Amino acid sequence: PQVLHGARTFWEKVTAVHAFITRNNAAERFRGGEHEARSESRHWYDVNALHQHHRLGGEVIERVDLRDLVILAKQRQFRIVGVDYEACGRGGVCLVPRGELRAAVLADYEIMRARGMFRESHPPPSFDDLMTRMQEIEDVLNALPHTQA
């Protein structure tokens, strides 16, 4: 059976995180009571895990062709107010939430950790470590060649 390539999944996750951060009223997406985690913070975890995956290695970064295909698909199929997917191909990827959104993503992440939503054999990084990795990945992605118009 044909499955989605890991590098494409990486870019799907990157654009999803970018959308979560840049959409209008982004923090509202993560609001909820103590037991109402939306489990959206898994996407940050996934971006980090895919970026570090030993079999994918640098391929996730090198496949700007997949980045551009994902951007095109998201523009056509997932229009969200406030989200500029094209920015992901022009050095404007946003992976690190700030302010109220950061606090909401942290709360969601901690609930997911407490509920055991990550594999015990590969414990998730602390939220601060994850955000440090997101900044590093964001910097690398934003230095990639820009999408050809």
pLDDT in tens, 39-59: 889 999 999 988 887 566 677
Let me know: does 40 contact 29? Beta carbons within 8 Å. Answer: yes
Whether 137 contacts 48, CB under 8 Å: yes
pTM: 0.89
Q: Alpha-carbon torsion 77, 83, 85, 86, what sign?
A: positive
Q: Which of 34, 16, 30 is nearest to 93 (CA)?
A: 16
CA distance 42 to 17: 10
List CB contacts of 2: < 8 A, sequence separation 6 or more: none
Tokens of 106: 């942290």
> Which comes out higher in pLDDT, residue 100 or 28?
100
pLDDT on residue 32: 58
pLDDT tens for residues 71-98? 999 999 988 888 999 999 999 999 999 9
